[in-house]
Amino acid sequence: MHIILTGATGTVGAAVLRNCLASPTITRLSILSRRQFTLPTGDGLDDQKAQIIVHDNFAAYPASLTDLLKDADGCVWAQGISQTEVSKEEYIRITYDYPLAAAKAFSTLSGHNKFNFVYVSGEGADPTEKTLTLFGKIKGRTEVALRALPSTPSHSALRVFNVRPGFVDPSPSDQREKTALKRIGLSVLGPMIRNLAPARVSPADVLAKVLVELVTGDGNPLESDTGIEDDGRTVRCIGVRRLGGL
């Protein structure tokens, strides 16, 4: 399978990248990134099947780019940013505009009339937008908009999954430089959440496994169960943990 990945340099995306490189199901991996970076290597990681495509405008997908992505079967959209790091306008652009533009552009890539689009949302996303948090409103808005796309003839090939991890615990292999704020969060809040609310923790490796299984799957709705909502299209944190074997 040919899979597209965004956000490969982030906590979630880095774990997904390693999982993709290790997956025998994925024979080609197209990574959309604002910059070149070094792919991880090691036992079981096939970095030869991956191509980093430098792309600096995630709101636009010209033919020169979609030609490189032709015949892709799915995408894990792991690109994202904290609402504390950018302006409200920029947060909406990254969280809402970018994944919507990508899903629309990718919907016709596959030659099988089916394209799995797996959106990394977050626990606390509110499709009703009644929450007071910007994060919850915009993530919820994006989920609703993505779910509506397959009902339009031009995007009917899309099979959308919204995945809502809780606190993402970085994988042991994640050696990337972290900001001071993130280091504090991991060292102070991390142990607290792990001990007091383990059901709200999504270990990055477990989350990556679930995301890759969804993007390489048949695209059919998941069976109703704990943590699975919206007719099998939304996976809550507890659902991530259950699907991941925790």
- What CATH number should be reported for the domain holding residue 69? 3.40.50.720
How many domains, in total, are found in the chain? 1
pLDDT the model gives residue 183: 57
Q: Which two tokens stand for residue 109?
A: 């890539």
Distance CA 67, CA 138 (A): 30
- Calculate the average pLDDT of the chain: 92
Distance CA 221, CA 228 (A): 10
Domain span including residue 205 = 2-243
pLDDT band at 117 (very low <50, low <70, confident <90, very high): very high
Res 199 pLDDT > 70: yes
Nearest CA-CA partner of 136 in 145, 121, 125: 125
Can you say whether the dihedral through the CA atoms of 226, 231, 236, 241 is positive or negative? Answer: positive
Res 179 pLDDT > 80: no
Q: Which two tokens stand for residue 87?
A: 């302006």
In sequence order, the β-bridge partners of residue 203 are 169
Indicate the range of 46-50, 102-106, 159-163, 180-184 predicted with least confidence.
180-184
Distance CA 2, CA 35 (A): 21
pLDDT the model gives residue 213: 98
pLDDT the model gives residue 35: 96
Distance CA 74, CA 71 (A): 9
pLDDT the model gives residue 25: 98
In sequence order, the β-bridge partners of residue 33 are 54
pLDDT band at 112 (very low <50, low <70, confident <90, very high): confident
More confident site: 141 or 172: 141
Paired sense of beta strands 28-33 and 115-120, if any: unpaired
pLDDT the model gives residue 189: 63
